[in-house]
A = this chain, B = another copy of it.
Amino acid sequence: MNAEIITIGDEILIGQIVDTNSAYIGKEFNKIGVSVYQITSIQDDKNQILQALADAESRVDIVIITGGLGPTKDDITKHTLCEYFDDHLVQNDMVLDHVKELFKKYISTSPLLQVNIDQALVPSKATVLHNANGTAPGMWMTKNNTVFVSLPGVPFEMKYLIQDEVIPKIQKEFNRPFILHRTVNTYGIGESALADRISDWENALPSSVKLAYLPSLGKVRLRLSSKGPVKEIVEETIAVEARKLYDLIADVIYGEEDDETIEAVIAKLLTSKNRTLSTAESFTGGTIAEQITAMPGASAYFKGSVVSYATEVKINVLKVSKDLIKAHTVVSAQVAEAMASNVRELLKTDFSISTTGNAGPSKGDSNKEVGTVYIAIATPKGVHSEKFMMGSQRERVVQKSVNKALEMLKKEISKY
């Protein structure tokens, strides 16, 4: 059961936008046993679209096409589908009613134009998929046993259509294998040294299990994948190999990756323990607060943050003593710990986390080497900090530090 994704739009090819739709579809399809064989991004060009459709048809069972369904002249997907399917457009009354309703509700200032009414035109052979969040309907068509699904490119509309229309219809109409990925996070060991340690095990893996190395900032993730018709067998196969892997490298494994982000895990922990959190951020500039508040319901446990980018804000708002800063500089364990303790008191929370460091490019107030970072955690039992050297690339220093801070926080909250 294979799928391909074709994303249409010059804006992707000139790099004006990053295609995030494909990763979303890939992830959701894997969950229901559909493998994505290829992703192809092409221009708003009729002949290129026709060629891509034909190529994909020869390879896979389902082709998902996104983009080119808007009301303007550069949107040509619908006409091109008609040509590919030797079909013509007909008005769909349900879509028209929906378009009118959306206009009445949200766009009352603009008149309903002919191009808006034309959004209700669909190929006569298409099954319409309801787009609750926009005027362009999804379309499901079949040719030579390959299903073609055309969806709008707006992520917000596409996601709804995938979840509420496309996936249920695939589940109803296709037998699918079970696909399982399990990703183990390792820290503190390089990719090649890791490969060396597990090479005997890797060489003896059954052919049904695929192993991938995913190195990224400070960690290497190992992904085990397998698929088959029987869920229990696939699960058992992966479980057996994962156990062997744990036996080999338990010392460098720090949990597994799943759909839950670390913010989600922290949210669950704090909510279930009925504890609260605050942050005091220097060089991370509010990124930790931003990631935590991206979770719906964060107001139940997150009270706020003092982003003390300037030293004087550390002194005046966070009440870090001038003498302490003078003795140790702002980039120090002492200042990190004072920031964490003080924000915990100021915002009256159970836990708090602080960051101070130098992300570069220049040395800043502390004269400490670029990449020097201190992260402190204050809890009901006290405060502690750790020092890290995070390299010399500004963005990476910040993101690595945020990851590390959340990691430390999760570990600490788990103890309570």
Contacts and interface: CB of A to CB of B under 8 A. Distances in A.
Interface of A: 10-20, 22-30, 35-44, 48, 70-75, 107, 110-111, 113, 115-116, 154, 156, 181, 183, 189-193, 195-196, 202, 210-215, 223, 225, 279, 281, 283-290, 292-294, 296-299, 302-310, 312-313, 316-317, 346-348, 360-362, 364-365, 393-396, 398
A202 B75 CA distance: 14
Interface of A is mostly: mixed
19 contacts: A10-B225, A11-B212, A12-B23, A12-B39, A13-B35, A15-B24, A22-B41, A73-B195, A74-B211, A110-B189, A110-B190, A285-B289, A293-B309, A294-B395, A297-B362, A298-B309, A299-B309, A299-B365, A307-B307
A71 B192 CA distance: 6
B304 A44 contact: no
A105 to B, nearest CB: 11
B36 A26 contact: no
A317 B319 CA distance: 12
A13 B39 CA distance: 7
Given A14-B181, A317-B347, 9 more contacts: A15-B24, A15-B36, A18-B18, A37-B48, A71-B191, A287-B290, A289-B307, A304-B308, A304-B313
Contacts of A181: 14, 16
Number of chain copies forming the complex: 2
The residue in A42, A214, A393 that gathers the most chain B C-beta atoms within 10 A of its C-beta is A214
A11 B214 contact: yes
B39 A40 contact: yes
Contacts of A304: 306-310, 313, 317
A285 to B, nearest CB: 3
Nearest to A133: B393
A165 to B, nearest CB: 18
A196 B395 CA distance: 43
Contact of A36 (B13, B30, B113): B13
Contacts of A294: 285, 395, 398
Contacts of A215: 70, 154
Contacts of A11: 212, 214, 223
B296 A285 contact: no
Nearest to A115: B192
Residue of A22, A196, A309 most packed against chain B (CB within 10 A): A309
